[in-house]
Amino acid sequence: MPLQKKKNKSKEPSRFFKTPKGMHDILPSDQPYWDRIDRTARELADFYNFGRIETPILEFADLFHKTVGEETDIVQKEMYVLKTKGGDILALRPEGTAPVARAYLEHSLGRVSQPQKLFYQGPMFRHENPQAGRYRQFSQIGFEIIGGSNDPIYDTQIILVFHRLLESLKIKNANLKINSIGCRVCRPLYKRQLQAYYKNHEKNLCPDCVWRLKINPLRLLDCKRETCEKIKEKTPNVLDKLCSMCSTHFKTVLEYLDELQVPYTLDNQLVRGLDYYSRTVFEIFAEGPGRELGALPGGGRYDYLMELLGGHLTPAVGGACGIERLIAVMKAQDIKLGAKSSRRVFVAHAGEMAKKKCLKLVEDLRGAGIATSEGLARESLTAQLKIADREGVPIALILGQREIYEERVIIRDLRTGLQETVPLHRIVEEIKRRWRDTQ
Ligand code: HAM
């Protein structure tokens, strides 16, 4: 019974190793996205004067217990924790803010200058249920402003840098959602009001929310279950409960965003999944294709985090954006990376003698700073030009027997099919002239 056989076969374990669940290889075809994002983030960091910081991938697990919060999903269920031979309990970092704050204190960066504007990029690890836009290993770009004053200008600058990141990557329909969750003075009051409201609906809450109601009421606003969503509609509005200091701070952030013409949507139910936030919180989504992937950048103010780590009260604000999500949205929105191949030539040969000459020509071009592709191991010219086509290289330089004899080279425009021959010794000059003309 062939059908039966096939069924059994599909159950056979694979002969090859695979990546662990929720972790992915980044193949050459995706590298151009990574390069573009990396370049854009570095340029923005440079322009807005953020210094790069790199922290280890492993940190003491307690760092995250203290800062991200004991009751958060990250600490409760998602950390990769290990015990070293020396007995230390370490965690693969699930996020970058706590490590940066730890480094700020450890190296007394506050004494160098105030505020510290820091930028980082690297892998994070969370043992989540993998789905679209949610992985167990993912990379974040983060910007943090730590120290100085709690001026709303800094909240705005953090949001602006992420707004520019999406804009530079040509991501369309970005929707910035923003809220304020108050401070030590006004938040406890709001939490109590929230608890009182939810107590009346306790029997209709999902089991997670029953637990949140007791332990972490603000997170009730984060629940996406249908029954809880309905209850959420009539919750007290946090923005009505802010103290005057928080209210003024938030209004000023919004005024600055208006001044910069950065559009936003107020979302009084945005609370975020980490416990260290106070006052401003924000997330940016790409509406339309890619919306299902979740927030791109997300962040907020975290004025009390340094205290949690034993430091002084230090104002701070920041955000981070998942690179895989950026790439997925760029693909969903069909954003082309273009340009890279337009300043590249393809060297092709017709015949064994020409192949040898081409080998030298490729090296000469590289030496002259001309990006060059080739498919010299292919014998047929057609097969070689197919590679050029696949790579999107617009110009082919072709050498055959006759060209070797005449010490010339054919320049073929692969978009129009037009070609001419030029003396071999003038080829670098000729390519550079063409590029100048098309600037
Ligand atoms: P977060 O909201 O947990 O905040 O993560 C920030 C961004 O990282 C998300 O908006 C998303 O783009 C990406 N991300 C998070 N989890 C995953 C995942 N499992 N798979 C793929 N991408 C993911 C933080 O991490 C804070 N440290 C942000 C911050 C910086 N707040 C202040 N400063």
Q: What is the CATH number of the domain that holds 41?
A: 3.30.930.10
Atom 22 of ligand 1, nearest CA residue: 322
Contact 274, 68 (CB under 8 A): yes
Contact 267, 284 (CB under 8 A): no
Residue 5 has pLDDT above 70, yes or no: no
- State the pLDDT at residue 57: 98
Q: DSSP readout, 157-215?
A: HHHHHHHHHHHHTT--SEEEEEEE---TTTHHHHHHHHHHHHHTTGGGS-HHHHHHHHH
Provide φ and ψ at 201, rounded to 5°: -115, 15
Q: At what angle do helices 207-215 and 187-199 cross, to 10 degrees?
A: 140
Mutate to test the pocket of ligand 1, among 138, 222, 302 (most ligand atoms within 8 A of CB): 138
Atom 1 of ligand 1, nearest CA residue: 298
Q: Which residues pair with 299 in a beta bridge?
A: 282, 319
Q: Are residues 161 and 283 in the same domain?
A: yes
Closest ligand 1 atom number to CA of residue 296: 12
Average pLDDT score over residue span 102-109: 97
Q: Are residues 378 and 308 in the same domain?
A: no
Distance 274 CA to ligand 1 centre (A): 10
Average pLDDT score over residue span 148-171: 96
13, two tokens: 């374990």
Burial letters 91-118, b for 16+ CB under 10 A, else e: bbbbbbbbbbbbbbbeeebbeeeebbbb
30, two tokens: 């995706």
Number of domains in the chain: 2
Burial (Cβ within 10 Å: 0-12, 13-18, ≥19) of residue 42: middle
Distance 237 CA to ligand 1 centre (A): 25
Residue 343 has pLDDT above 90, yes or no: no
Dihedral angle at the C-alpha atoms of 396, 400, 405, 409, nearest 10 degrees? -10
Band of the pLDDT at 3, cuts 50, 70, 90?
A: very low
Helix (H) or strand (E) segment spanning residue 397: strand 395-399
Contact 181, 279 (CB under 8 A): yes
DSSP letter at 131 equals B
* DSSP H helix total and E strand total for the chain: 16, 16
Residue 201 has pLDDT above 80, yes or no: yes
State if residue 24 touches ligand 1 by the CB under 6 angstroms criterion.
Answer: no
Average pLDDT score over residue span 376-389: 93
Q: Which domain holds residue 135?
A: 28-186+242-332
pLDDT tens-digit series, residues 44-86? 999 999 999 999 999 999 999 999 998 888 999 999 999 999 9
Q: Are residues 47 and 132 in the same domain?
A: yes
Q: Are residues 179 and 261 in the same domain?
A: yes
Atom 7 of ligand 1, nearest CA residue: 321
Residue 342 has pLDDT above 80, yes or no: no
State if residue 290 touches ligand 1 by the CB under 6 angstroms criterion.
Answer: no
Average pLDDT score over residue span 7-14: 59
Q: Are residues 75 and 150 in the same domain?
A: yes
Among candidate residues 275, 264, 315, 430, the one with its CA nearest the CA of residue 361: 430
> HEC string of 16-70?
CCCCCCCCCCCCHHHHHHHHHHHHHHHHHHHHCCCEECCCCCEEEHHHHHHHCCC
Average pLDDT score over residue span 316-325: 98
Q: Are residues 322 and 359 in the same domain?
A: no
Mutate to test the pocket of ligand 1, among 117, 140, 304 (most ligand atoms within 8 A of CB): 140
Q: What is d(CA 191, CA 240) in angstroms, rounded to the nearest whole number?
A: 13
Pick from 294, 310, 332: which residue ends a domain?
332
Q: If you average pLDDT over each of 109-113, 139-143, 211-215, 226-230, which comes out highest?
A: 139-143
Q: Are residues 306 and 425 in the same domain?
A: no
State if residue 121 touches ligand 1 by the CB under 6 angstroms criterion.
Answer: no
Q: Are residues 348 and 324 in the same domain?
A: no
Q: What is d(CA 69, CA 74) in angstroms, rounded to the nearest whole number?
A: 8
State if residue 328 touches ligand 1 by the CB under 6 angstroms criterion.
Answer: no
pLDDT tens-digit series, residues 288-304? 988 899 999 999 999 99
Q: Are residues 318 and 353 in the same domain?
A: no
Mutate to test the pocket of ligand 1, among 37, 50, 78, 95 (most ligand atoms within 8 A of CB): 95
